């Protein structure tokens, strides 16, 4: 809808609970309160999408490694699915890829703990 089409105005009164829901929903959606209320009226709900952006060198390195491991696993799957033999070399490659994934999983969990600690500290400041 274009703003030019908004020729009519409705004013409503609401209690604190409803008003806070509108304010908090609009803030979480990063849209003006009036647009949030308009979307609620027209669509019945507003989907809040949160995108987490992290510029952390360790994460970039892990993402690159995940890509390489994923490529290896795709090659292994293609080999098996095309009727390739189950050689010791393929078994070893599969085990290596799985081991690398687990090692990286623990690195990511460790980093996630660091990030959780930061957000918890931020929440404590607000209180």
Q: Specify whether 71 is located in the same domain as 121.
A: yes
Stretch 77-95: mean pLDDT: 83
Q: Specify whether 23 is located in the same domain as 68.
A: no
pLDDT digits (tens, 9 = 90+) for 49-80: 666 666 677 777 777 888 888 888 888 888 88
State the residue range of the domain holding 8: 3-43
Is residue 72 a part of any domain in this protein? yes
Burial class (CB in 10 A: 0-12, 13-18, 19+), 26: buried
Are the C-beta atoms of 36 and 48 separated by less than 8 Å?
no
Q: How many domains are there within the chain?
A: 2
Is residue 49 a part of any domain in this protein? no
Lowest mean pLDDT among 10-14, 37-41, 108-112: 108-112
Q: Specify whether 70 is located in the same domain as 122.
A: yes
Tokens 């390739």 appear where?
84
Stretch 35-56: mean pLDDT: 77
Give pTM, 2 decimals.
Answer: 0.38
pLDDT for the residue 16 = 93
112 falls in which pLDDT band (50, 70, 90)?
Answer: low
Is residue 50 a part of any domain in this protein? no
Q: Specify whether 61 is located in the same domain as 120.
A: yes
Task: Please say if the pLDDT value at position 127 is more than 50.
Answer: no
The residue ranking higher by pLDDT, 56 or 94, is 94
Q: Specify whether 93 is located in the same domain as 121.
A: yes
Q: Specify whether 62 is located in the same domain as 116.
A: yes
Q: Specify whether 32 is located in the same domain as 62.
A: no
Is residue 48 a part of any domain in this protein? no
Are the C-beta atoms of 71 and 16 separated by less than 8 Å?
no
């Amino acid at each position: 809808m274009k703003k030019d089409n908004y020729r009519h105005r409705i004013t409503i009164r609401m209690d604190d609970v409803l008003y806070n829901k509108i304010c908090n929903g609009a803030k979480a959606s990063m849209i003006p309160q009036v647009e949030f209320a308009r979307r609620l009226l027209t669509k019945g709900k507003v989907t809040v999408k949160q995108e987490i952006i992290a510029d952390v060198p360790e994460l970039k390195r892990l993402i690159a490694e995940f890509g390489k491991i994923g490529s290896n696993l795709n090659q292994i799957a293609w080999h098996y699915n095309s009727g390739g033999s189950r050689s010791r070399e393929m078994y070893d490659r599969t085990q290596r890829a799985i081991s690398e994934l687990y090692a990286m999983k623990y690195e990511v969990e460790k980093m996630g703990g660091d990030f959780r600690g930061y957000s918890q500290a931020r929440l404590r400041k607000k209180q």
